[in-house]
Structure 1
Amino acid sequence: MKPLTSVIRPYAWGSRSAIAEIQGRTAPADGPEAELWIGAHPADPSRVAGTGLDELLAAEPDRLLGPAVVERFGPRLPYLMKILAADAPLSLQAHPTLEHARARFAAGHGGYVDANHKPELLVALTPFDALCGFADPAVAADRLDGLGIAELAGVTAALRTGPGGPREAVRTLLTWPVEGRAGLVKAAVAAGTAPLVAELARFYPEDTGVLVALLLNHVRLEPGQAIWMPAGNLHAYLRGTGIEIMAASDNVLRGGMTPKRVDVDELLEVLRFEPLDEPLHPAAELAEGVRAWPVPVPDFLLHQVVPGARTVTLDVPGPRIVLAVGGAVRADDGQGVVEIAPGTAAFAGADAGPLRLSGPGAAFVAATGV
């Protein structure tokens, strides 16, 4: 086991207390702490004794990643794990398919920084609010009708016309004339029928993306519940702390609720508009204190192990990262033993043995699905 030192990203929407409290540091921190990146992404790799994990893996890919992972993904770690702590809403966003990302990146499209997809899974550590996937169009139309705003009649009519309705509704709202956006949002808040819009408008009073929120599923996760965001899923994290795991990519297409680059046309290209009837992604209970969240991509697989008074053996192949939360975790991969402090992580290479985990904390174990 190799202890990892990981970087915290200070995005403005981040909490000043959540990650500090998980790690047992003084809270609040001096500034926002949004994401703790745990992995080998070249933008902010975790480090082993001062050396980037990405460098170590590139130097010995067959030993540390394993031949199967190298054959499938090349000499790189295909996943990135994070602790994400949001005190304010993130952008309305989606991610491309692998094929779309490869084509756009090869063509030099400015919105693509790599040739990879970015499916994501988030497991809540605290109560966590999110928007995830499209609601039934008729339900969305009723929500907009409830605002009593005549200018939205065309949007609600589109939602009731057929399969193309949600696309047209999103396009209309996100390309609303700039001079009319603040007035539209103000009228929606004044209607008093959509508390979600009123809350989002506190942060984005001139952004009609807050009305797109009414087209989506508003999910409240309890600790231990998860949501899965495949390619084309329109989503936004609103508030809370969770463990996020994803394919190691930075390809994000935003449509609103952000000061960052917005590309509505490209977002519409990648979105999947069919309703998502059940946003929650169930866990598979594998054994006492052991569960996993299977996903239909090979880039990653996330387990949670709660050892309690026992030592639990988790035999998953390939490169693994163990993150401790809620208490320390003792991890033994047959090559070394590490006491992992809360909010920190350790790496086990593909050449190491099964993981033996014990201690008072919970372990989130990232691996590949290969």
Structure 2
Amino acid sequence: MYELGTVVQHYDWGSASVLPDMLGAPADGDPWAELWMGTHPLGESTVRRADGTTVPLSEVVGETLPYLLKILAIAKPLSLQVHPEAVMAERGFVRENERGVSLDAPHRVFKDPHHKPEMVYALTPFEGLIAFRPTAEVWHVLEGLESPLAQRLNDELRADPGFPGLVRMVGRLLSPWMGPTREELDAFVAECREKYAAGADRRRAYETVSELAAHHAGDPGLVVAALLNRIRLDPGQAAFVEVGVLHAYLSGTCVEVMAGSDNVLRAGLTTKHVEPHALVDCVRMGMADAHVVTPKDEGGVRVFAPGVDEFALAVATVGGESVATMPGAGPRIVLCVDGTVTVTSEEGALTLTPGRSAFVAAADGPVRVEGEGTAVQAFTPR
């Protein structure tokens, strides 16, 4: 068992205080957006061996972990985005490599050849947009507005209904050649603000547009956001985002676990590269409601298993004399998110405070958690 040296990612949507406060580090005024734990090459964790040397986690694991664990501290909304399925990621990665597109190029779409399903577990009240609304609800949202853009989109969707028509409409919205003018977008946003202020919102669609416009004026992703389900998670709840599901996280702090990939296709609400054609090809899922994951109790430990091969999340809250045994075997990462916990395996013990984490090798046997606090464990559900 090793305590992990983790990597902080400083994206502009991150909080300047949440992660520094959690880690007991001095705030430096920069946004601390994500804390990474895993073997991904863009932010690999490290471990300190018994001889005092520090090495990448992959040298200890002997392979790349199939999952990546993060803490997200969201101060401003993230971009609208979707993650590709495996075949699309593999082909896109090879194609861009053959074209000589650098991995850090702004217009690079595929950073690796892997798909990226993901799940978020809320540490604070958490809000996001996940998946398209049903067509009837999209019509309801658009018909509540009189702006020319809303009426045109409503007509387009009625002429080409259903999920495929909705995706094609979004592709046109995001196209630099077919998308709306700034004047049309401003009129759409202004009417959403008026409706929201007057108490005439429809399933929080106009509220969403009003809030996001404060950060992304003139972005066609504002219209797309109105077409998505808005969800709220209370602390202790989790939601799963499958590949091909359009989504955006709006606010809150969460633990995120995902397949070990950094592939993101953006659909707006960003200054980064947007690729409408790839996006339309990538969006596969229908207009389901939010993918809230119901946990299963395993000996007092809540297990959130969304049904993918790469990851599941176990959450144990302990206090007094209680001891929790985490399920699962294989290589695991245990993260403290509240209080102080001691993590024990057959090979030793580590005491962790919020934001501190430990890697537990497959040979270390079962993991027990005690103390006063909450720990989460990422593992592969074999």
- Superposition map of 1:313-328 within 5 A: 313-328=325-340
More moved, 93-102 vs 166-175: 166-175
Which position in structure 2 is the counterpart of 1:162? 161
Which position in structure 2 is the counterpart of 1:299? 310
Aligned-residue sequence identity (percent) comes to 38
Which position in structure 1 is the counterpart of 2:174? 174
Which position in structure 2 is the counterpart of 1:89? 77
Q: Report if aligned partners of 1:81, 1:243 keep a CA contact under 8 Å in 2.
A: yes
- Superposition map of 1:43-82 within 5 A: 43-49=42-48, 50-57=54-61, 61=62, 75-82=63-70
SS in 2 for 1:328: strand
Q: Report if aligned partners of 2:13, 2:74 keep a CA contact under 8 Å in 1.
A: yes
SS in 2 for 1:240: strand
Which position in structure 2 is the counterpart of 1:219? 231
Q: Report if aligned partners of 1:188, 1:197 keep a CA contact under 8 Å in 2.
A: no
Which position in structure 1 is the counterpart of 2:261? 249
TM-score by length of 2: 0.88
**Per-residue deviation at 1:178?**
8.3
**Per-residue deviation at 1:151?**
2.9
Q: Report if aligned partners of 2:334, 2:359 keep a CA contact under 8 Å in 1.
A: yes
Cα distance in 2, alignment partners of residues 176 and 107 from structure 1: 23
| 1:87-122 deviation line (CA, Å, top 9, x unaligned) | 111111111111221122223374112111011000
Q: What amino acid maps onto 2:4 in structure 1? A: L
- Superposition map of 1:121-132 within 5 A: 121-132=119-130
Q: Which of the numbers 132, 135, 138 marks the counterpart of 1:137?
A: 135
Cα distance in 1, alignment partners of residues 40 and 374 from structure 2: 24
Judging changes above 3 Å, is the alpha-carbon distance between structure 1 residues 237 and 9 closer, same or farther for their aligned structure 2 residues? Answer: same
Cα distance in 2, alignment partners of residues 367 and 279 from structure 1: 20
Cα distance in 1, alignment partners of residues 30 and 331 from structure 2: 33
Q: Report if aligned partners of 1:167, 1:273 keep a CA contact under 8 Å in 2.
A: no
| 1:135-165 deviation line (CA, Å, top 9, x unaligned) | 1112112212223112332311233342232
Q: Report if aligned partners of 2:120, 2:257 keep a CA contact under 8 Å in 1.
A: yes
Q: Report if aligned partners of 1:324, 1:342 keep a CA contact under 8 Å in 2.
A: yes
Which position in structure 2 is the counterpart of 1:118? 116
| 1:274-295 deviation line (CA, Å, top 9, x unaligned) | 111343222222232x101112
Judging changes above 3 Å, is the alpha-carbon distance between structure 1 residues 275 and 179 closer, same or farther for their aligned structure 2 residues? Answer: closer
Judging changes above 3 Å, is the alpha-carbon distance between structure 1 residues 156 and 180 closer, same or farther for their aligned structure 2 residues? Answer: closer
Aligned length: 352
More moved, 108-117 vs 211-220: 108-117
**Per-residue deviation at 1:338?**
0.4
Which position in structure 2 is the counterpart of 1:308? 319
Cα distance in 1, alignment partners of residues 245 and 313 from structure 2: 20
Which position in structure 1 is the counterpart of 2:10? 10
Judging changes above 3 Å, is the alpha-carbon distance between structure 1 residues 180 and 159 closer, same or farther for their aligned structure 2 residues? Answer: closer
| 1:234-268 deviation line (CA, Å, top 9, x unaligned) | 00011110000001111111111111111010011
Q: Report if aligned partners of 1:331, 1:355 keep a CA contact under 8 Å in 2.
A: yes
Judging changes above 3 Å, is the alpha-carbon distance between structure 1 residues 136 and 261 closer, same or farther for their aligned structure 2 residues? Answer: same
Query: Are 2:187 and 1:187 equivalent residues in the alignment?
Result: yes
Judging changes above 3 Å, is the alpha-carbon distance between structure 1 residues 147 and 314 closer, same or farther for their aligned structure 2 residues? Answer: same
Cα distance in 1, alignment partners of residues 135 and 156 from structure 2: 9
SS in 1 for 2:214: helix
Q: Which of the numbers 59, 64, 89 marks the counterpart of 1:101?
A: 89
SS in 2 for 1:117: coil
SS in 1 for 2:329: coil
| 1:61-108 deviation line (CA, Å, top 9, x unaligned) | 3xxxxxxxxxxxxx2111100000111111111111112211222233
**Per-residue deviation at 1:315?**
3.7
Unaligned runs of 5+ in 2: 49-53, 98-107, 196-205
**Per-residue deviation at 1:273?**
4.7
Judging changes above 3 Å, is the alpha-carbon distance between structure 1 residues 172 and 178 closer, same or farther for their aligned structure 2 residues? Answer: closer
Q: Report if aligned partners of 1:155, 1:169 keep a CA contact under 8 Å in 2.
A: yes
SS in 1 for 2:31: coil
Which position in structure 1 is the counterpart of 2:100? none
**Per-residue deviation at 1:321?**
0.5
| 1:182-218 deviation line (CA, Å, top 9, x unaligned) | 3223212221221211111111101010110111101
Cα distance in 2, alignment partners of residues 256 and 221 from structure 1: 23
C-alpha root-mean-square deviation of aligned residues, in Å?
Answer: 1.7
**Per-residue deviation at 1:177?**
5.0
SS in 2 for 1:42: coil
Cα distance in 2, alignment partners of residues 19 and 34 from structure 1: 8
Q: What amino acid maps onto 2:346 in structure 1? A: G
Judging changes above 3 Å, is the alpha-carbon distance between structure 1 residues 278 and 11 closer, same or farther for their aligned structure 2 residues? Answer: closer
Cα distance in 1, alignment partners of residues 176 and 92 from structure 2: 26
Cα distance in 2, alignment partners of residues 314 and 221 from structure 1: 24
Cα distance in 2, alignment partners of residues 181 and 225 from structure 1: 40
Q: What amino acid maps onto 1:97 in structure 2? A: E
Q: What amino acid maps onto 1:118 in structure 2? A: K
Q: Report if aligned partners of 1:156, 1:169 keep a CA contact under 8 Å in 2.
A: no
Q: Report if aligned partners of 1:185, 1:201 keep a CA contact under 8 Å in 2.
A: no
Q: Report if aligned partners of 1:155, 1:168 keep a CA contact under 8 Å in 2.
A: no
**Per-residue deviation at 1:131?**
0.4
Q: What amino acid maps onto 1:35 in structure 2? A: E
